[in-house]
Structure 1
Amino acid sequence: MSGEKFTFGSTVRYSCSGDRQLIGDSSLTCQLNGHWSGPLPHCSGDSTGTCGDPGTPAHCTREAGNFKVRSKVRFTCAVGHTLYGSAERICFPNGTWSGRQPFCKPVQCGNPATPAHGRISRVDGTTFSHSIVYSCMEGYFLTGAPTRQCLANSTWSGSAPNCTMITCGDPGIPANGLRFGDDVMVGQNVTFMCQPGYVIIGGDTAVTRTCTNNGSWSGTMPVCQVHSYITKLKVQRFRQHELLEIVMMRDICDLFIDLDDVPHGYEGGKQCWFGGGEWCSGNEKKAYPDCDCVLTTPTVVTCPTPPPIPNGLLEGSVLEWGTSVSYSCLAGYELSFPAVLTCTGNGTWSGDLPQCLPKFCGDPGMPAKGRREGRSFIFKSEVVFSCSTPYMLVGSTTRMCQEDGTWSGSQPRCIEPTRTTCENPGTPEHGFMNYTTGFKVGSIVDFQCQQGHLLQGSTTRLCLPDLTWTGIQPSCIPHSCKQPRSPANADVVGLDLPSYGYTLVYTCQPGYFLSGGSEHRVCRSDGSWTGKVPVCR
């Protein structure tokens, strides 16, 4: 091919090497609609009675013995891909192939459902093998699988999770205390005070606790203790051993006692009985031959240490009546539900015990002409790939499910050992590809869509030394919105988001960062877009 420009009006010319004959137009011109003036020509076979190698499209396998006249080649797409074009081609006597060259396009799963009070927090595409991650809005927790994967049958795995409002459970009431407020939702408060005759340890008249986002109450449960009485009236007669005992009592039974203020048999505090069974009244002083003081310490209800859970951590160290504890998980694990345990008045914990489950990375796929060992796809699991003879594996031989729920390394592929260039990534339907430098290592191809279509996937792709392409193969989706200018070195995904509308979400490719523009753009009613074109540098 000769000609280096691919702009409107430019012409490229084709010729064949050796004795091959060019079949088709020898020159093509770039038209105003972004298409070339005719189909791509090809060269005939090396000798009479043969056709040239028809090639193997990306994500496709080919069955063929030779390329002689009347021989057939059959094309089959990899799992999760649909074949467009001719599945079978026959070599004609004139050295050409019947039909048109096929290509394999990954199946499209479309827009996944978004749960009420939830959102899609991460998405790497909506075509086969790509996955999405759900999260809940503040004040809600997620129940169900947080990730879903696009399957080969064009459906999303599993079902959309639910977002349930976080509640903190019954905060309890302290012994000899009062509680004001019964709302246990996130952000709501309850206030505690003590019954008459009791005060909060620490001097506060009231304590307020708030239901937090992790389903536990802020602060700690207050403790109510017996009020300290002011002593006024002196006991004039006592025995020596009684004096020592009285002084040790300090608050109620002291050298000075206002007997009017000391309830007889006060529960949970200090009790005093005076000989003769009489109490002093007013400022009258009476001498008693006997005085006995007995200290009774109030019993604090505590619960035993909650049981540990495998791969989990206990949050909270106060184990008294009315207090709550919660659990968290080690890296690579997630709670089956956000459990909160509350210590009850009978010394037991209320609430259910959660589990810490390993994160799920999803099926890592299987390369064509390859094999995979390992069937577990959870945290710390490993899968090992190999290729059938004589194919050579490029990409990661071993991949491990990581603590963030993604696979380490890169997706492997099996290629022919004689290959020195990347495969043709294919031109998206209703789009076109600019590949001025070909498909050699270091080459960059860029994609655009026809009018009335929006590009989803990678705007540019780079051929790496392992003969794989960076990014995600793009597709062109019909839409009424105008095609915004496509930034280089970016991946784009389109989603119909509730309360927003059709939204394009941009992510810079590895090695690049967003240095300007908008990370997401929403289609307006007039077909224009909010925000500015993102810049990845």
Structure 2
Amino acid sequence: MPYCSMFASLLGNLCSPPEDVSHGRTRFSSYFYQSVIEYSCWDNYALIGAPTRVCQANGHWSGIAPVCIQSRCGNVARILHGEVIHIEGITPVDTVEFRCHRGYHLLGNASVLCGTDGSWGQMPSCNQVSCQIPLHDSPLVLTFTNGTMMADVREYGCDEGYTIQGNEMIACGEDGYWSGPVPSCNPVACQDFPVIENMVHQPDSVSFGMMIHLLCTEGYYIEGAEALTCGSDGAWEEPLPSCTPVSCGPVPKVSNATTNSSQNFSFGDDFSFVCDEGFSLNGEGRLRCISNGTWYPSPPTCEPVSCGRPQAVPRAELTFAGTEYKNRATIICQEGYNVHGPSVLECSANREWIPFVGYGETDTPVCDPVSCGQPPIVENSIHQELKNYTYLEQFTYQCQEGFSLKGDDVLSCSSAGTWHPVPPSCQRISCGNIPVVSFAMAEGDGTLFGDIVKYTCLGGYQLQGGDTLMCSSSGVWYPPEVGVSPNCIPVSCGSPPVIENSEAASEVFSYNQTYNYKCLYGYVMDGNALIKCGSTGNWSAELPECTPVSCGLPHEVPNSKVFVTGTNLHSTANYTCQRGHRLSGQRTVSCLEDGSWQPLHQNVILCLVEPQI
């Protein structure tokens, strides 16, 4: 058997694709033998026929294809005591809505859906409205009721001592709820408790049947009831209590003290003790009657006064026999000190050492140093702030400017009230010899601080700086005005006058200096070349002149002719011999700066007769 025929016999023939189902869907995996196809309808459609088909060996699907038709639910059933208020239709997903008649409430869903199976969903029912019986507790009392159905009512009241809060009557509504909440009963509130001095109460506000507890403040006790009950009319029971202060009786007795009182004292009263003279209070002198009927603190005692050891006085010795009341102490100052204030003290009743009558004023005793008064005045010294100096204090002298101290500059105040050693003196400072200024004369002969020397320059010299020197406080001479010491410098003639055709001088010349003129090249001096600077700043003598060099006519040479270009510097003269003569020497000569022809002064020019051949 061929291979393909064998494979076909094993698998069978393939089925053709199934036809589509209107308003439905198919599901299958293959077209092979024994493959299954499943059918289903859209929502709101019902399947008519088999839901599956199988591929057979003959290549056909089993059975016939089902169909999908739209569902219908039929007429809507009525409900007792209710009615339909809206209906969309009788096909799937259509709805119908119900409501109950007044006095009835719906049990179930108000809206019912048409199912895909063609039937309506669960229908609701209408039950008569009733209200649940509300609960209440005493002191609330139900005074009337006619039931719990719609429009039935319930009336309430309160027991004695209570007032109703809310509506006294409530009615059952068509929604099954009472028209309001059950009222409540509040106890009657008592009047504010009256204010009683020194009394407090708890709690602050009280109502019928409650008790208020009363308590007196510290130091007081209650007379009457400690608790009161609020009545049904909101009033307090009579009589009201009061608070009375605690008594401490009379003050305790204290020896050596005056009480001056035998009366009884109450809480808050106080009393102060005063000891007799010569006794001091030991403890708290002021007692107070406290809340428990006792005195606080413990009573004091009056002890004999003791002043203790007298306070030490600097630079003094104290002598005393005792430290009790009326004992005395004597003060003796050290050398160089005198007592100021009382020299004898007495122990007083107030525990203090006080001046003994007849031994000084009431000031505190001190040992003041002996006074030497003001230091001696030294002439020409600096007058410092003068005051009275005391024992061991020192004073330092300083001389005024321009004066030097001779002797000890420090004096001390002695224990006898005198100054030691002898005061110094202030003497004028010397600047030494009068300074010598060259080419000047000095006027003045003093050489001490403040002396002045004036200087005058000699002839041919002039003053530079100030003309005076003063002796300074430092012992040196200094210029007091312009700040520059006098100096005599030679008079200046300035630069020499310029002469035409001469060398110009750039430097400046002073008294007694000379200048020698030099003519320029090609010029010669006419006059005295040397001039001198005089004492008045003028140049002496007449000025020379520089004239051009002239060589005159050159020397005549026999048997020659001379041709001259001029007679000034660098002019030339050319010699030519006559026929039959020959030149011996230099043919051309030049005019030199010394006014001579060269080389005539060195060589002789001759025109010699030529020899005959």
Question: Which has more strand, going by share of residues?
Answer: 2
| TM over 0.5, shorter chain | no
Taking structure 1 as the reference length, the TM-score comes to 0.30
Q: What is the TM-score of this pair, normalised by structure 2? A: 0.27
Which of structures 1 and 2 has the bigger CA Rg?
2
Return the structure number with greater relative CO, CA threshold 8 A, min gap 6.
Answer: 1
